[in-house]
Structure 1
Amino acid sequence: MAKRINDHLSISDALKEFVADNKLQKGLDKVNVRDVWNSQMGPAIEKYTTAIKLERDTLYVQLSSSVLREELSYGKDKIVKMLNEELGKELVKKLILR
């Protein structure tokens, strides 16, 4: 049986340690980016979003509307800044709309 290192460990600290030990942060970041995109961009844009993929520091967003893609392309920098602020870290550096 494993030995306890610390008898008094908060749940949040235990979860952070578990994520770090099992190298799960990249996967969690991908899920978090998807959730933040949907919450920040709203239901109208979420309806036209078909795929969201985070690779390294680039966020690829596939949209089913070419008109919406063109409109969003004008505010890429603002969108990246907004997403990073909501995530609490500089995770997305480049946004590619497809």
Structure 2
Amino acid sequence: MAKRLSNESSIGEVLKAFIETNKLQSGMDKIDVQAAWKSLMGNGVNSYTQEVILKGSTLYVSLTSAVLREELSYGKTKIITMINEELGKEVVKDIILR
């Protein structure tokens, strides 16, 4: 049975406990990575981005521009570092640009 929290718990503590109890962290990571991509890449890259999907520790990004895909491929390690720093933990280990 789940541990009962006191009535004086903050909403953040209650949500964290709920996420842990129901094993929802991987889904939350997927949403957080999508938001981090949008905020870090800016409007220029986002206008050419079709979808951003996190499967395991690999980030799949579908782009409509072959030129942009080639440019981003040169900075994969920097993008991985930026996203992980934005999230505060190591979620992404590889990026596949397609």
Give the distance between the partners of 1:66 and 1:94, measured in 2 at CA: 19
Which ranges in structure 1 are unaligned for 5 or more consecutive residues? none
CA RMSD of aligned residues (A): 1.3
Give the distance between the partners of 1:74 and 1:48, measured in 2 at CA: 17
TM-score by length of 2: 0.93
Q: 82-91 or 7-16: which moved more?
A: 7-16
Q: How many residues align?
A: 96
* Corresponding residue for residue 9 of structure 1: 9
Which ranges in structure 2 are unaligned for 5 or more consecutive residues? none
Give the distance between the partners of 1:47 and 1:24, measured in 2 at CA: 30
* Corresponding residue for residue 75 of structure 1: 75
Tell me if structure 1 keeps the 8 A contact 2:57–2:93: yes
Note the 1:1-98 alignment, pairs <5 A.
4-98=4-98
Q: Which amino acid aligns with 1:76?
A: K
Identity %: 55
Alpha-carbon distance, 1:23 to partner = 1.2
